[in-house]
Amino acid sequence: MSHAARALFVVWAAANPAPQQTASSPAAADAEDQDVADLTPNRGAAASPIELVPRLEIRQSYARVGSQLSLHDTTAEIDIQFLDRVLLRYEGTLRVAAAPSGQTSGFGDLRLQAIGIVASAPRYIAGVILGAVLDTASQPALGAGKQQVFFGAGGTFKPLRWWLPYLLVQDQLSVGGDDKRPDVHQLAVDAGNLVFGKGQTWYKLDLVTVADFTVEAGRFFGTVEVGRLLLRKTGLFIRSSTQLAGPRQLEWALEVGVRYLFRLNE
């Protein structure tokens, strides 16, 4: 599935901070990491602005792309806070691609992005995204062979303490690279819902529509994620994706990971 179909800005909805706050969870598109601890009873009634939370994440993913190619990725992601409302994200991937002609392994393309908050309140947030995918794959089969940029915007609104719907729109296109490789130009719209459960658990559903302008085709994807905060700053999650409509690209994908939050309100 396109990276545009992933949650792309990470926010912390610190709606009711208190000294005993102990939890967090991912929210989406790709607006993730919302305040599961907001469900904890007997919290303080004070409200604070939504703020960014740096994190370290390691995840393993398995994907079947079409009928001939499978991918096994090990991805390391780190967020660095810059100023109060900007987060810088770095993603590096070790990839194993298996095809009928054989197996190829090495480094995939490096992904960089900046996530900025432009408006926020205790129950809503709006953000913008700007980033690049660098043609750094160690072998051609492990990357797109293109220098790419992407930009977008998204927002979330929390109508209930346990429910967070969100929307993200992102455009991604190639601006250089190997002329023999296909160009990239995709517009993705991610509409999702995040539900906070008991015991510091979260459930997330993403429905993503991708318009691929290079082949004049549209695709529709669905992703389900379940996660739980096991320790104060560390959580585990698992997500599964498949393509629901359009010219077949993704058969299925399964991803598991661990996430560590560097800073929480205390």
- Opening angle at CA 124, ends 231 and 39, nearest 5: 35
For the chain, the domains span 3-261
CB atoms within 10 A of CB 114: 16
| DSSP collapsed to 3 states, the chain | CCHHHCCCCECECCCCCCCCCCCCECCCCCCECECHHHHCCCCCCCCCCCECCCEEEEEEEEEEECCCEEEEEEEEEEEEEECCCEEEEEEEEEEEEEECCEEEEEECCEEEEEEEEEEEECCEEEEEEEEEEECCCCCHHHCCCEEEEEEEEEEEECCECCEEEEEEEEEEEEEEECCCCCCCEEEEEEEEEEEEECCCEEEEEEEEEEEECCCCEEEEEEEEEEEEECCCCEEEEEEEEEEEECCCCEEEEEEEEEEEECCCCC
User: How confident is the model at residue 55, as a pLDDT?
Assistant: 87
pLDDT of residue 42: 29
Largest CA distance in the chain: 61
Which residue has tokens 């015991």? Answer: 199
pLDDT at res. 233: 84
The CATH code belonging to domain 3-261 is 2.40.160.40
pLDDT the model gives residue 131: 96
242, with CB counted inside 10 A (0-12, 13-18, 19+), is middle
Q: What is the pLDDT along the chain (266 residues), one digit of tens a residue?
A: 333 333 333 333 322 232 333 333 333 333 333 332 222 222 222 223 345 678 899 999 999 988 789 999 999 999 998 877 898 999 999 999 999 889 999 999 999 999 999 988 888 889 999 999 999 999 999 999 999 999 999 998 889 888 889 999 999 999 999 999 999 999 999 999 989 888 789 899 999 999 999 988 999 999 999 999 888 789 999 999 999 999 988 889 999 999 998 865 54
The Cα 8–Cα 13 span in angstroms is: 16
The predicted model scores a pTM of 0.80
- Give the HSE-up count for residue 27: Cα atoms under 13 Å, Cβ half-sphere: 34
